[in-house]
Every structure is written in structure tokens, then in C-alpha cells.
Amino acid sequence: MHATLSGDVVRAGERARERFYDSSGYGHPVDSGSLELAPVEAAHLLYRGDLDAVEGPDGAAMDFRAFLSSAAVSEIAFLVYKDLRDRGFYLSPARAGWSDSSAARAAVDDPAVDFVVYPRGSGPWDDEVAYRVGVVSEREAVPASGLGDLVLAVVDEEGALTYLQTEHREVSGTSEADLPTGVSGELLSDRSLLWDPPAAIYDLGFYGQPLDDRDGDVIQLSLLEASYLAREGVLDVEGGVAAVVERGREVEGERFDRRLRVYESLRERGLVPKTGYKFGADFRTYSDVQSVDDLGHSELLIRVLAGDHTFSPRDLALDVRLAHGVRKTMAFALVGDEDDTADTDDSDGIEWLSVTRLTP
Amino acid sequence: MHATLSGDVVRAGERARERFYDSSGYGHPVDSGSLELAPVEAAHLLYRGDLDAVEGPDGAAMDFRAFLSSAAVSEIAFLVYKDLRDRGFYLSPARAGWSDSSAARAAVDDPAVDFVVYPRGSGPWDDEVAYRVGVVSEREAVPASGLGDLVLAVVDEEGALTYLQTEHREVSGTSEADLPTGVSGELLSDRSLLWDPPAAIYDLGFYGQPLDDRDGDVIQLSLLEASYLAREGVLDVEGGVAAVVERGREVEGERFDRRLRVYESLRERGLVPKTGYKFGADFRTYSDVQSVDDLGHSELLIRVLAGDHTFSPRDLALDVRLAHGVRKTMAFALVGDEDDTADTDDSDGIEWLSVTRLTP
């Protein structure tokens, strides 16, 4: 069977169309009746022995080895393509004009998508998409802005694959506590102390931590908790909110402001954020706190990031694996510039992104 | 009982010495028969109610609340001191001239040490040290150079404590494989392929990964593995070692050189390093590989760092927790400048540091 590489397309004739597209979903049929294949598809057909060779622009015949070593095909794209085929999926490279279904066309328009994967048993002739897959090497930087409706297929340096499902998500809970106002507190260098607080602060609101487990008289508040409670009028501290926020910035710079915005947003959405330090995260969250005596399991681990963050796949793998190991979901709070959100009243400028391990 | 703050010492009389030092190991007896206390010790005595007040330089009496809010005592040092006392330990602040035993004096000489903790049942009058403890807030940067014979007591933003034991360690194993030389390989953009390698490369040496699990004909080597095997004369690749290393640097810059030095050192010590990507680390290591058919559990997770690295306690917590969850030990390979090691023939300039969670 004859196949010729021309630019970034491998062209084959009518028999190839019947054998490869009609029966197995490879390539893109063209009006003339012949078949266009992406190089990664041709590489897979060579690998399987369904094609013997692809003729290069110089007329030389390339076998699988020569073709994979050429610049025509990315080795990591090939590894992912092969793995998804091995798992029983039909898939198409994301190329403008190659997909007929509207679901696939929407995926192709997203520059982060490399492959459109159809549900098992479906193919390019159906109007259904199972996964929108982006291929990255473990050493590539991945912009957060491209994630959210994408499965990242990460190829590690030894060629093994991990799939990470990224999703935009809504974050909400039912925690709420009626708190008194004007509770007096003292500001220390890295926390605030309430020497004789009303029980509701800790017992119902789950703010702070008793200085001593045996005796809940003194409550330590983190600077985030103190800032929030001061803004809400619950906490009365010398210098007011400004003094607490100033202290927070001294301790951790502009990260403090970003974390405070996320803390406030979580509280307003009915979640209780507590430190995620032991999990290497900013927060762990409880969605339905009525009383600390009856705390459920915390569901999310949250890492606060600037909106223009780029992920290293290795860091992502670490976060997602740890969260999974403690039966929580890893979520990222992407915090946009304050200015960008000034004119959109209903948004707090925070985008929530969850990332979980996927076995396709 | 009268106690007076003077500079960074709280002085008390002979009765204090009997009651606090002789019976409970607080403070440092001086020749005059009286007792000197560090502010953190005085704070703890105030907290317990054993002291009513400390007189400040201005003559004003400070109770626990006033003393803890003053600049005389660090709140995070107090939290750690209190926690260790609660756990039944006697401990001394690390101050030159305050310790009589040689073990304690050695600890005091280390600037990273804040507290010398004696074994349960022992005190400052014995010559034994259980832990050398350094106190840090979760937001402090911790220089790697200060770690190795230190327990880090990390205070998170809500005042909860985690203890991390840091130790210098020797790394060694018994893996060894007799490999043929002159095996031909091909260099792709981010790996090397062996199209028809001798079985020993993968089966005995555990180098690389078969392209296809069902069929081990083609082996993918990472660029680290390819560099090492090319240097050893096992791998024959166009352009030689230099070409592989060059490719590695294109992919990840100077980190590649650092990782290669650690890879080589591990192989030479009889360990098999494989990618640690799935655990967010550089390598996982197997110490006794005779054959891939009989692989044991990998024991270490290794992260490669520059010798002058500073840790964020939160990142440390993440690494240590993940390693624990997969029954491995977290180790850091601190790689010094190549120049620093040129004149010490027996060293490869790499310092190995393990970090584990500790419950004192």
C-alpha cells in the first residue's frame, strides 16, 4: 500500500481509506476518495505492520524506525497515541477541518488539545468525545490557563504515561456560624491570640486553635483568620484589619493577599479552610461544619496560585498523588489580578481547578 | 518568688534553683547559687503558674500574657518548648556556657540548634542528648546546609507542630550487572532507542523501558541512562556521550548535569535509579537488583538539589508525607559545585540527607 509524506500529512489511496478509516478510524477521508493521515497515525500503522513504508519527499522509503527517528513525528505524541489505541480507543489528531462532529470540532478549536478521543466503540463518524487530550513531556511547563477541560497525558523521561484529568469546578458548602462582634484579640508577630474568647469562635466557627488541648481558654488565630474576622467585625484588634494584613505581608509578602482572597472566598462559599501545611498545601477544607465536636473529613486540598501560573508536571503529579493518598481532591485556586475583576461584580476573580488521576 | 528580666536572661534566687532546676531541669545554675532562666523557660513557668510574674527592666511586673506579647520571647519557640515539656521531656535552650555535658555542648555549638532535648527521665545534669531541635515557622526558609543532625520543629500558621528528623546517611546497594559493550542506539529528541539490544541491558541492568510491554524488542532509554551507558562504553550512539549530554542540557538546562552526577553516583554505589516522576521526585531507587523479574520494592525517593538549596518547610512536609504514604524514605542529594570536589578524590561532592517524620 502506497503512502507519501507531504508537508505534515501522509496521503494514501482509496484502499487505505477503506482499510484504515472505515474499519479503524485512522485519518481523515478527503473528497477525492483518498485518505489523509497525520504523521502520528502513519507511525502507528507502520508500527503495527499495516503499512510497510512511507515515502518521504525525497522519494526514500521510511520504515517505522526511520519514520520515528525523523522530524515528521513527535516521539511523545506517538507514545500517547499508541497507549490510547492499546486501551481500545479510536482517536483523531486535533486538526482544523479534520473533524465532522460538533463535539470534536469544539475540541479542535482549543489549542491545548492534541488528540480527540472517542468513547470506546465510537469513532470519528460519531458525535461524541470521551476525552480531550493534551500531550506533554514531564519537563514541559504547562500554563494553568490551558487547563480545565483537558486530560493531560504526561510522558515521563522513561516513556511511561500518566493521565491527569483537569476540570473547572464549583466550590461550595453549608458551613455557617453566628458569631458575636467586638471580640478582643492581641496581635503577635505571626498570629493573633484571643485570651478569653466566646466559645462560638472555635466551637461553632472552627476559627483558630486552642493554645492548649486540655484547656480551651486561649485561642490562637492565624493571621488569615484574624484578618477575615477583623473585616467581619468579629475581632477587635489594635490597628484593625490594616494592622493584621500588614503583619501578614511582612511575614509572607504578596502571597498573603492572594491567600487571604482565597480564604475569604472559601468562607463566603460556606467552606471552612484550615491550614494544609501537613499536606504541603495552603488549605484543607471542610464543607459542612456545624460544630468542631462533629467534624467530618476534609474534602479538598487547596493550593493558591497566581492566575498566570505554569505547572511543572512533576509538581502536579506530587500534589495529585498525595491528595489521593489521603482521600482528598486536589484543587487549585487561580487568583487573577484584582484589577481584572473590578468590573465583574458577581465574580471574585478566582478560578477553581481540580486535578485528579485518570485511568482511561 | 522574684524573677527579673535583664537583657536576654531572667534571674531568680536560690529557692528558684531548688524548685525549678534541681527538680525539673529549668534554667542554668550560676556560681552565686542563683538561677538564670532563658525567657522561653520563664514563659513556661509563668504559663504553668509556677511563677506569678517577671519584673521587666522598667520595674513593671509581667504576667504570662504580657510576657508572651513582649519582645522578650518568641511565640513559636514557646509553642515548641511547651509541646516538648507536655511530652515529658526536659530540655535546655542552646546557649554557650549553659551546658555542662559534652554532648549538650556539641549541640550548642551548632547554630541551627535552638533546644537540646534530653532523653525522658534525664536532664541537663546527665551527659546524654536525645534530640537537637531547631525551631522554624512554616514560612521560614531553611538552608539545607544546616540540616543533617537536627530535628526541625515546624510551627504551622495555626500553631500546630510537626517534627522532621534530618540525618546524613550513606547510600549503598548491591546491584551490579555485566553488560556487553558497543550496543548501538539512536538518539531522539528526549530519549534514546535501542532497536535490538542484548537482553541483559533491561533484564539484568534494569536500564530503560520496553517500548511495548508485550514485546521487549525495542528499549527506550532516558537521556540520563543513555549518558551513563555511553560513558561506560556500553552504548554506542552517534556523537558519543557528548551528544547525549548536549541533548539533555537542551531539554532541562544545568539541572541535567546535576541529575546525571547523582544518577552516576547511585549506580556506582550499587543502586538502580529509575524515574521518580510519579512520586514528584527525581528518582526512586532499588538497592538489590539481580533481575527485573525479581524486583523488590524501591526504598528511596530522591530529589536532586543544589548544595546551597534552601527548603520551604511546606515542600519538605509534602515530600516526607508522600514518601511515608508509599512506604519509602525521602532523601535529598545535595550536589556541591564540581570545583569544590576536584581536590578530594574520594568524594563525589554529593551529600545525602534523609528526612522523616518524627514523633518525639
Q: What is the pLDDT of residue A245?
A: 97
CA A113 to chain centre: 14
**Confidence band of B267 (pLDDT split at 50, 70, 90):** very high
Test A318 with B318 for CB contact under 8 angstroms: yes
Parallel/antiparallel/unpaired status of strands A329-335 and A350-358: antiparallel
| Poorest-pLDDT segment among A229-233, A314-318, B341-345 | B341-345
Scan residues 204-233 of A and list those with Cβ closer than 8 Å to B. Answer: 208-209, 211-212, 220, 222-225
Mean pLDDT of the region A164-176: 95
> DSSP label at A333?
E
Q: What is the DSSP letter of B104?
A: H
pLDDT tens figures, B67-92? 999 999 999 999 999 999 999 999 99
pLDDT at A345 (0 to 100): 47
Query: Does the pLDDT of residue B115 top 80, yes or no?
Result: yes
pLDDT tens digits, residue range B179-232? 999 999 999 988 999 998 999 999 999 999 998 865 568 999 999 999 999 999
Chain A residue numbers touching B211 (CB-CB < 8 A)? 159
The residues, ordered by sequence, that sit 6+ positions from A248 with a Cβ below 8 Å of its Cβ are A223, A224, A227, A256, A257, A260
Residue % of chain B over a pLDDT of 70: 96
Q: What's chain A's average pLDDT?
A: 93
Q: Render pLDDT for A108-134 as a digit per residue (tens, 0 to 9).
A: 889 999 999 999 999 999 989 999 999
Write down the ipTM of this complex: 0.90
- Asked if pLDDT for residue B120 goes beyond 80, the answer is yes
Residue A323: which pLDDT band, with cuts at 50, 70 and 90? very high
- pLDDT attached to residue A319: 96
CA nearest A141: which of B253, B77, B245? B253
Q: How many CB atoms lie within 10 A of CB A92?
A: 24
Residue A265 has pLDDT above 90, yes or no: yes
Indicate if A44 belongs to the active site: no
Tell me whether A318 touches chain B (CB under 8 Å): yes
Chain B residue with the nearest C-alpha to that of A223: B157
pLDDT of the residue at A340: 56
Rounded mean pLDDT of A262-277? 97
Cβ <8 Å between B314 and A277: yes
CB distance A91 to A118 below 8 Å: yes
* Helix ranges, chain A (H): 14-16, 23-24, 39-48, 64-69, 75-86, 102-108, 200-203, 223-231, 240-252, 255-268, 313-325
Q: Is B286 a catalytic residue?
A: yes
Q: What is the pLDDT of residues A27-47, one digit of tens each?
A: 999 988 899 999 999 999 999
Task: Say what the pLDDT of residue A216 is.
Answer: 62
- B202 tagged catalytic: no
CA distance B325 to chain A (A): 7
What whole-number distance in Å separates Cα of residue B75 and Cα of residue B135? 11
Q: What's the CA dihedral at A24, A136, A280, A294 to 10 degrees? A: -30
* pLDDT tens track for A59-101: 999 999 999 999 999 999 999 999 999 999 999 999 988 877 8
- List pLDDT tens digits, range B242-251: 999 999 999 8
**pLDDT of res. A31:** 84
Query: Mean pLDDT across the stretch B301-317?
Result: 96
pLDDT of residue B345: 47
Mean of the per-residue pLDDT values of chain B: 93
| A&B contacts, CB < 8 Å | 145
Instruction: Scan for cell 532509554, then name that residue.
Output: B221
Work out the pLDDT band at A171, boundaries 50, 70, 90. Answer: very high
Give chain A's domains with CATH numbers. Answer: 1-73 (3.40.1170.20), 74-168 (3.40.1350.10), 183-355 (3.40.1350.10)
**Tell me, what's the pLDDT at A199?**
92
Cα(B168)–Cα(B171) distance, rounded to whole angstroms?
10
Quick one: pLDDT band at residue A174, thresholds 50, 70, 90? very high
